[in-house]
Amino acid sequence: MNAKPRKKKNATAATTGAALMPAVVQDTRSKDVLMLAYADAEALRRTKKTKTAWFYSRSRQRLWKKGRTSGNTMRVRRIRWDCDRDALLYQVEPKGPACHTGQDTCFGPKEFGLQALEQTIASRKGVRDSYTARLLAQPWLLAEKLCEEGSELAECRTRKQTIWEAADVLYFLLAKLTERGVTLDDVVKELDRRNRKKH
């Protein structure tokens, strides 16, 4: 009886005929979907081992490491299977744009949100003639403004006024988090911890 041929070490879909799995890539902080790629067993193994996103290129018929040539790598924080275990979700911290066009995602420009505002505030550190940079450099002023805006929000009487003052509070709150080296993700994790504790 002929023995079954051994699979070559680091064999890929091209050499083994193994199935490819869709891999949805999501920004772990903003929750934006960055791209859709495909992975075989070897790409998944390398991703787990290196904590960096690896995929399988259907057009080139070979493995590829995201960002190998562009430098726009992805740090993989978590890998999840779907309920049928035939699709993957990579939750990543991207280093640069995900798309070859230079866009942050392969699905067009990112929508503005708290994460985008957080990044904008962080980018103002040390910028000359920037009000945000001044706040970050003067914690006492930031604390004063945060208390002031919080009081104004508490005293709002109309919907329009509440929206306006809430926007101010969110801006100064994110500035405070940035000044203390805390991220929105850190706060969400704490909320998740409290929620799990209740259950």
Same domain, 48 and 86: yes
For residue 108, the number of C-alpha atoms closer than 13 Å in the C-beta half-sphere is 2
Provide the mean pLDDT of the chain: 88
Q: Where does a domain end: 64, 94, 124?
A: 94
pLDDT in tens, 132-174: 999 999 999 999 999 999 999 999 999 999 999 999 999 999 9
Same domain, 48 and 19: yes
Q: What is the pLDDT, as a whole number, of residue 18?
A: 57
Q: Which CATH number fits the domain that encloses residue 158? A: 1.10.287.1080
Same domain, 26 and 89: yes
Domain annotation covers residue 163: yes
Task: Give the predicted TM-score (pTM) of the model.
Answer: 0.59
Domain annotation covers residue 20: yes
Domain count, the chain: 2
Same domain, 24 and 87: yes
Q: Where does a domain end: 94, 124, 145?
A: 94
Mean pLDDT of 82-111: 89
Q: Where does a domain end: 47, 64, 94?
A: 94
* CA–CA separation, 89 and 82 (whole Å): 8
Q: Which two tokens stand for residue 61?
A: 């018929």
Q: What is the pLDDT, as a whole number, of residue 65?
A: 96
Same domain, 62 and 90: yes
Structural domain for 26, as ranges = 13-94
Three-point CA angle 192, 194, 199, nearest 5°: 95
Cβ–Cβ under 8 Å, residues 74 and 98: yes
Within 8 A by CB and 6+ apart from 24, the residues are: 33, 36, 87, 88, 89, 90
Q: What is the pLDDT, as a whole number, of residue 128?
A: 87
Q: Which CATH number fits the domain that encloses residue 27? A: 3.10.20.810
More confident residue, 11 or 160: 160
Cα pseudo-dihedral 61, 62, 68, 70, rounded to 10:
0
Same domain, 119 and 184: yes
User: In a 3-state reduction of DSSP, which class is residue 27?
Assistant: strand
pLDDT in tens, 52-81: 999 999 999 999 999 998 999 999 999 999
pLDDT above 70 (res 2): no
Residue 27: count other Cβ atoms within 10 Å of its Cβ.
19
**Rg of the chain in Å (alpha carbons):** 23
